[in-house]
Structure 1
Amino acid sequence: MKFVRLGPAGSERPAVVAADSRGIERTYGLDPLTADIDGPFLASGGVEATRRALAEGTLPELTDAGNLRIGAPIVRPGSIICIGMNYAAHAAESGAEPPRIPVVFLKPANTIAGPYDPAPIPPGALKYDWEVELGIIIGSPAVYLASPKDAAGVIAGYVVANDLSERAYQIPGEAGQWTKGKSLPASTPVGPWLVPADELDPAALGIRSRVNGQVRQDSKTSDMLFDPAFLVHHVSQYMLLEPGDLILTGTPEGVALSGRFPYLAAGDLAELEIDGLGTQRQEFFAAVPGYNPQTGEAL
């Protein structure tokens, strides 16, 4: 199963993509089960309820799904928790030693965007960078988990995410801060799908990015310093995780910060993919002051 949200930004409709008896993928509306793909849906057994409904044939097929915009596969989460430098080679290209414990920071939830939405480059940005990441969706409340084994049980599923970062705001000088560099509007494209945790092994997935058709990142999730279950356990020691929260697990080597590639510019096309989770694409444009990336209108 692949959970999706379809329709205009702010008015997405929950749906699921599943293969029929002939192996042909079809899209079905989840309206009989839920108003949206959110924390309450995940925490109340929504994944299993969807399986039962598919088996019983009670979900309506969305024959026009191919004509609809694909939004982020979850509603805006309560928290986006990010892990920095979780691949040794990326830490090295960033000029840092691999961390001995996870580096954790937060990103505003209002940065979520659809996987194919046009992506704004902020006014004045000089070093806008891509980061393909495996995203973890939390499925039940969790705090002070006893072990990574317990943590695995609270993971609802996985997504592809792009942690877009303005390095000129993030790093240099006394005003350089990770929050400033990673909080820009529409800087967290997510999707296209949410795949349930019991249908995907995150241990050794191919994870890749391309810019204008040229490979930038090409690694495996097995290169992570800290795996998803360890990360969920670790983060739960410091904050309450709620259903629908998103944890970004870090990016492999191959970003522009390495100095090997140019930073993103208007007109560039980025493609990011993870095995089993699909491919997202963003075409970048130069935003103007006062532009609202959610509506396309002036503020």
Structure 2
Amino acid sequence: MSKVEINYILLAHKNPDQLQRLIERLTARYVKFYIHIDKQVDINKFKRKIPESDEIFYLRNIDRKNGTWGDLGIVKATINAMKLILNQKRNGVCILLSGQDYPLVSTAKISDFLNEHQKINFISTVSLPFKGWHKGGKDRIEKYKFNKSFKRGHFIQMPSIWEKEFYQKDTPGRINFLRKKGKFKEILKLLKKRRFPKDIKPYGGSQWFILPISTIESILLYLQQNPKYLSYHQFTLLPDEILIQSIVRKLEEEGKIRPSLTYVNWTRPHGDLPVTFKTEDFEELKSKSKNFLFARKFDTSQDHNILDLIDEHLLR
């Protein structure tokens, strides 16, 4: 049986050496890489370390987006990478990873697994509202999100004038902030109640996925036929956890949708989340390698030994 083609979309903004290592671990005869470097970052630092080739492609500058946390840019970048993959008439599956991910099993095991499951959509989805999210996630899709800057978490959320919550003491200050920034179009948005598009039900879940090329084609066709859906999410908080998930649940059979195969730890009681794995976390990752193909996140500027342990004990 021929190997399934694997198309990795890699979203990166730091650590070119770490991205190079990730690509080296995932390289195989049937694999190609489509790399998006955050528009705010010097792409040449990456291209010098990882030159373009017949297997490695960078998104053009015109297709690069600002990767502001919680914003739509990173989703648009993913969509642009999908388009490039289809333009090259690739088959098989599409895998979305960040530059701070790493495999937990060998390329041979990844290939064998995907050969057996190449028609399955591995993307985590839960119907909204979901009790595991703040306010069930309703604030993400019912309020307008406006960025105050490119800094992580530096944004405001506001309801429309038709919501009781609008009439609070901090609202005039927020509107004045928007006025000072010249965001008059954003202020006018508040005159209209924000509603999720009627023809699709909201689902949320992890950003990271493995999808068949046929699903990628369906997603792009849906976005082409429903341009207002993408523009709606311009004001969604963390649309990377809602936009594509909702389309997949609308278009694909429930029996062909399974949870993401990228392990992320959001539950550790102390420290920043998600967990940045270090040497002391190896046993945790080893146990998760039985059910997941990848894990995130790692940072070689903090700890590179954890990747050495994975190489030695899991990838061989």
Common fold: TM-score over 0.5: no
- Give the structure-1-normalised TM-score: 0.29
Q: Which has the larger radius of gyration?
A: 2
- Give the structure-2-normalised TM-score: 0.28
